[in-house]
Structure 1
Amino acid sequence: VAHSPVAARQWVSDELAQSARAVTAHGREAGLARLDLVRRGGLRAVWGAVLVLLLGQALTAVGSGWTGARTAGLCTALVLAALLSAAAHVHRARGGLLAPLIGEDNRLSTTRAVAAAWLLFLSFSLLFLAVRFPALRPPATTGTATTTVTAFGLSRAAGLLTALALVAAVSVTARLVVTAGIAAGRLQKVRADRPRAADLLCDDSGRACLADVQYLLVSCAVLALAAVGLAHDPARLPGVPWSLVLLLGVSAAWHLAAKCAEGVRPTIHSVVRSREAGDLDAPIRTGDDIEIRGRGFVPPGAGAPDPLTRLVVHIGPVHAHVPLVPVQGGFANPTDTALTVPLPADVEPGRVEVSVVTAAGVETNRVTIDVVD
């Protein structure tokens, strides 16, 4: 029995593919337990924040005494914590509190996280002022009509409402941009195995994204200043200066511009015969290795073995799976710009069309090659 390098490579690739599928299946089974841990961690964080607020108010009340604002803040925190706990229980199968922040690709969304943070802060502010000033009662019984108008005045809260509208619009627009990119075949999305905190700062491939980082930092900074304003003047909705709203708008525009420029359509530039050392130059024949050069073959987030096993090359009527060639730290084949596949024996001599289907299910353009008998 003669040794066949092609058969040995195919055997190694098949073993890797089976192992990758087995690991992925075990990961799905462990995903439910992991989501339950995430849900429990979110609840601990919420009630831990309530405890920190209580301790902070108790420590700061030593000199000035306990006030109605402290009571209102603590009651508001308890109400919000109870509501968030109920929401986490309803969405316990998807990670509890993280469920609204997870996108369709099973990654944490930066725009959703920022919008949720602003919505949570505005909800806390409104509940806090509602506890302090029961605006639903008639002014004759409370005597707080003027105070209520001042607390909920639009002139002061215009910046806060504009910031909330801005981050909400960014969240919706970003989703529309991604959907349009996927529909056009320009943007490839591969589902992640699980959501990670790094998703808020990184792109799908795990590299830090400057647009996401700056948007998250600027939004958190403006939100922190608004929270300081509420703590400094708890009798009114916090005012966000228009300069900070403009800064948030510039950051949001940067983030959306990066979203629009994201992605590249997979394209084949050329198909050549793969030549090993010592081989003579020759035309493409059945059984030869062909090297397909282009870009976008391995979309971001598809560098793991399981997504790579889903790459398929259409060679005429034959569907050829791309063999995996492992090297230290990754795979030598396939790569984002080139992949090598043996020409199947079922391919008839003549002119045949070649195209690649990526792990995201996007098909490239077709390139015609000549196969010699």
Structure 2
Amino acid sequence: MKYIKCITVFLLIVANQAAFSKPIPPGSGVGDIPANILILLDSSASMKETISGVDDAINTPRDVIELSDGNIIVSQDKGGLVKFLTSTGEKDDSFAEGNVNFKGSTSDSNCGNQDSSIASGSGHNKLTFGVSKNVVDHVGEEIVFVVNENTGNGKVIAIDTSGKCVDVIDHDELGVDSGKGFSPEALTIKTIAGEDHLFVSGGYDRGDGDGDRGYFYTKNLTSGKTTSCNVYNSIVFRETNSITVADGGTLLYAALKGHVWKYQLEKIDDGSGGITYCPITVRSENVAAGGLNKEYYFYYKFRNNSDCISSTEKHCKAFHIQLDPDDSSIMYITGQANDLFQKVKITDDHLIPIKSKGIESKEKTIS
């Protein structure tokens, strides 16, 4: 699976990079970082403005994913999804059935008249991607999944590469066991034992005056089997910026407030047609399952944002995370402080920096 995950706001890789009004941020093009790992997004204010110069404007970009043919789909806070053809660097005018922008519909005929609409955001609309080529009824096709975080009506929408809706996992379905729906915050897709699994983290309003509760949903995309997972430490799951899963479905990592939380994953097989995985969030059960009696990695606390680059023992404050697709002991981290990008080694106690780079061209390589 050729896959670039854009972590923060926007990265667009096209044949002619000179077409952009702003260069690719520091941290890009580092030789020992795989091409299919998303490279740091510039989180400065200027990158949150409209960017022109390709074929049309891109409005408040949120995430980007590279398809197997090299073309790119970008999500926007205000404007839905757009596809760029790397051969021309321009938008695909045939995308979304000729509408150019996929914004969905409140009654989408391609998805059984379900609501596939992507509400226009207010600068905080999360539109996070995942992609699979092993989805039931669509095996061999590339299907793109996108979280539309919208309080009260969040959903996961699946589209094909032409921009046509193929499925909607709506607010109620995501939180079916809660009876209150579920607003998704982050998703990831991982191939485990030849099957693709969708993991979605978020939360719902309990309606009892005690605020929101974390929630977790997982779906075996290859078999169609779904599971709603009971989770504790609910603030992690309802507010995480990013989740990523280790090879073999053994561990789940979640970024929250700069720290990286780690959970053992439990294999669920009730004999009803497909295996799913849920995070073990009760500490005693996590230890019994072979997990450490430590559920998170603290980031390096620093007075000056650039100082954390000099740390050889702890990672800098994490905003988004992604495991290396070929080595689950390696993690890539981006942070908003100085648009930091880090490659780290996962140990029992810390995330040890291997390479760090920030916007001020301060770089640290640990040999």
Shorter-chain TM-score range: under 0.3
Task: Decide which structure has greater strand share.
Answer: 2
Structure with the larger RCO, 1 or 2 (CA within 8 Å, 6+ apart): 1
Q: What's the TM-score once normalised by structure 2's chain length?
A: 0.25
Higher fraction of helix = 1
- Taking structure 1 as the reference length, the TM-score comes to 0.25
